[in-house]
Structure 1
Amino acid sequence: MRTQVAIIGAGPAGLLLGALLHKYGVDHVILERQTPDYVLGRIRAGVLEQVAVDLLDEAGVGARMHREGLPHDGFSLAFDGGHHRIDLHGLTGKRVMVYGQTELTRDLMDARRAAGLQTVYSAENVSLSGFDGERPTVHYRHDGQDHEIQADFIAGCDGFHGAARASVPPSAIQNYEKVYPFGWLGVLADVPPVHHELIYANHPRGFALCSMRSKTRVRYYVQCSLDDHVEDWSDERFFAELKRRLPEADAARLVEGPSIEKSIAPLRSFVAEPMRFGRLFLAGDAAHIVPPTGAKGLNLAASDVGLLGRALAEHYRGSDAGIDTYSQRALSRVWKAERFSWWFTSLMHRFPETGEFGRKMQQAELDYLVKSEAAMRSMAENYVGLSLDT
């Protein structure tokens, strides 16, 4: 098979890149090692920055998001028993969109199917070669037979454990990582949200987050130990702990219900540099991971493929300026998002090793933050997302 761009990975990053390339008239194929049902079954982020919303609109897949998504003009910080609203729209003129990653992925899949674009699911033994020269090739096995795709470029959108980054010689890549000493226990339930906007709670017992996927489905989290096991957390225990970490008024309004899904996610930061290796480009989780505090993971993936899609389109119009600067431009935005996620995580979570001094520093920072318009504006600017050119 011959194509212009071979995309590895049919998650949101790969599918969005495919949708953008289709709009730009660039021939491409997507390979995915999992089945469509598996991809749709992953429970992930649900807060979209304006950049991500704009890219989905540009790709022609934003109609249902605008119809069913929930635009949010702000969110609340909860600490010391009180609520403190960060007015995103008032401070920046921008807002965020609450729309589940599963629904976004479904929209991209449906649009791709309707356009008759090629996606190979259940692709096994994917390997890459020749991307340091003129003939990048992707090898894979499907339906018991070996296949290969020859392409001008390869886009690695296949996540942290995928084949793309693993194909790069160790001497050519530098990895940076921070592992946090706790995780998030998350519950998905079909109950009305406790509040019309998100609540991020700092509490002596640990962090909590009240988020949502719709007006009838919530996603709630509590900070937990990495030694915890999901089976030790009944729904009753989870909701009792969540209530302890919320202001009394919110706890009183909280509606409990049976969990649809429950899981524990460890927190870590990871960045691989550079993000280009000859004719191979990394994007999304293949290149970086952020703690979920601040909802930057999916949004960073969208900004990566926004930059990459335009760079590849420019190449076929005769300019290599975009692909030559892709890694530098993407990493500039990545590190700013990593900084914000690290700061927000450090501000809101309980770190036992920092003791009471660390707790007092958090309280002082939170008190300063909600009393300083400049500090709130800086937080809001980062939360709604920096532009692609930042």
Structure 2
Amino acid sequence: MQTIIENNYKKETKITAAVPSRTKGATLIHEVDTLQLVYDLYTYTGDKVVATTPLHSINFLFLHGSGMNRAVWEYYVAYILEIMKQKNVHWKINKIITMDQVTHGDSAELNRHKLGTNFDWADGARDACKVAQEEFLPTSDTNCYNVVVGHSMGGFQSLACNVLCPDLFNLSILIEPVVYVPHVQNKDNVTIIPPRFYNALWSKMTDNFKNMEEFETFMKNDSFYKKSNSEILQRMIQFEAIHTMEGTIKTKISQEQNMLCYLTLDPTARWLIGSLPYIKIPVHGIVGGISTWCPPQNQELLVSRIPLYEKDVIPDGDHLVNLEDPGTCLNRIVERITEFIDSSKVGESESKKGFVSDAQREKLFKVNFSKFKEERVKDGPIILAKL
């Protein structure tokens, strides 16, 4: 895996400021502490395909689930090239971003003494949009498309990205997205879970170990990730472990911050659910056929509310299907992008050919304003907007 990446990509690990305006409680000292994000940028440097017509390029942003980190996507960065070759696709990779949310991975290390008790999932989506904008924009390549891929919590954030920045991504691919999950009823509609469920989750989130052997044993036998692909699991173990001066092991994500991910879905989910009909790009939802983590109503909601939603079931897949069956997920991702490219109408915009003079811009604005006026200025019955 590592050799494939080194032979085909220029990899840069970067640090950038997280979005400063965050939900109250996101930082320990509100409006004083600022958070940071760590992400990897992979720029494709492999053999360039000579084609008679311009190849379409794809930028990827991968968003991990609760308790995970950006290293879970390295398998995808490496082996997507093999599947693309097998399927003889007519598109190429431009850039790939994998990022650690502020409470996870290397970001958590940088923010360790600043993190508060409210990790709003929408804040993570704002961070994702900021990183994507910094790396993907501006562009003059009219044949380049941006694709966001997210698993579980990352699936929620992928959808939220399309609400927050409607034109940033052209295609969204979700793997077992978490949006609608029942909680203990309360007047504030926040996430409240029963103590028994809390304790069951807490037991899977141990963050301190006597040595590396104990940590590996836990990850392979008792953690959420014990059924993961061996390459992915070993990379997670290697990436997540911090060797202390005392010779013990601690994880980059703390037990408390890990748990907070499961306590902060609502009320933000209510905002996202209300916004789903306004997502206008194609959304491809990969679902595990035997997964029980999300209730059936979760998928029914996405199918009914998102205009261009396509449900794709992996029959034997569980909630962690992206870790346990990454080959199948990668095949579905490549197939969906190929279908999207084949069905897209590509026309080079005059404004993206290079330098545009002020006179050209003024002419373009007048044409666009005239079209917009025709659409928005009309006679008809006056009604109040429906609330």
TM-score, L = length of structure 2: 0.27
Higher relative contact order (CA 8 A, sep 6+): 1
Compare the two structures and name the one with the higher strand fraction.
Answer: 1
